[in-house]
Amino acid sequence: MKKVSIIGAGNVGATAALFIAQKELADVVLLDIVEGIPQGKGLDMSEASPIQRFDVKVKGTNDYAAIADSNIVVVTAGMARKPGMDRLDLMHKNAKVIEDVSRNIAETCPEAIIIMITNPVDVMTYHAWKITGFPKKRVIGQAGVLDSARFATFISMELDVSVEDISPMVLGGHGDEMVPLPRYTTVSGIPITELLSQEKIEKLIERTRKGGAEIVGLLKTGSAFYAPGAAVAQMVEAILNDKKRILPCSVYLDGEYNIDDIFIGVPVKLGYKGVEDIIQVNLNSDELSALQNSAQIYKNGIANLYKK
């Protein structure tokens, strides 16, 4: 049986663990520094298995030794956003958490693929890559799958059509500078530019960019976790089952889209080895400029993080 370890047993980590277990993708280890929390949630999920009919092991632990031999390590540890905060506000506090987590991953399961969830995700993915020294194909940030799902949800609401027929595409960083691509977002193959006015598309794009903040504002004491957990499970499934899915993920660019030395969201082929290819779609000048602007913001964040 394959093995997925999740660092951080909060709402996102626990939800991702449950989705992964329900799909029977792998045995799951849920790790947290707080004693009892991962053990309790792991036991609760195990007790759900006879009802939901999934036959994998879910174990909670506080010991990094338990994640040895993991195929994938998902990192959700760190602070979540509160009302009034943006993702970059979390950078310095979460960077300390990610540094410790990354050192433990590198020591305990040096062949694993890392999926980073902790915000600001594009900066934290870069940070984990630097600390672990892992090949770039094995360090992946999750954001595009989540942002694309939000875009699809809002399109479905606007058009009153099934979400199953919507193929969305959102690139760029996981923040207000993300780059939804209406030309590459379709409903049963039909670009939404042929189904919606430019004004309505702009409103949907803006809601997508603020999608996380909208939920933070409603919850008041936390941030989204069902959709992020589902996005993790989709990425894990693409990798472990070698599905070769084309999904937008935060990956290291080395000249693609005329962007270098940054993790940012672009379409990639996900398979058993991690990032198997970076897909360079034909962007017009406005789309490319928006993507490059998004990358620059996170480059500035990295420079701020690493300044002496």
Which residues belong to the active site?
A: 174
Pair of tokens at residue 279: 């897909």
**Helix and strand numbers, DSSP H then E, in the chain:** 9, 14
DSSP state of 223: -
Cis peptide before 120 (omega within 30 of 0): yes
Which residues, 6 or more positions from 303, have their beta carbon under 8 angstroms from its beta carbon? none
- What gap in Å lies between CA 165 and CA 251, rounded to an integer? 27
Among candidate residues 300, 69, 50, 67, the one with its CA nearest the CA of residue 77 = 67
Strands 166-167 and 72-75: unpaired
Contact 211, 228 (CB under 8 A): no
What token pair was written down for 276? 């198997």
273 contact partners, CB below 8 Å, separation of at least 6: 137, 138
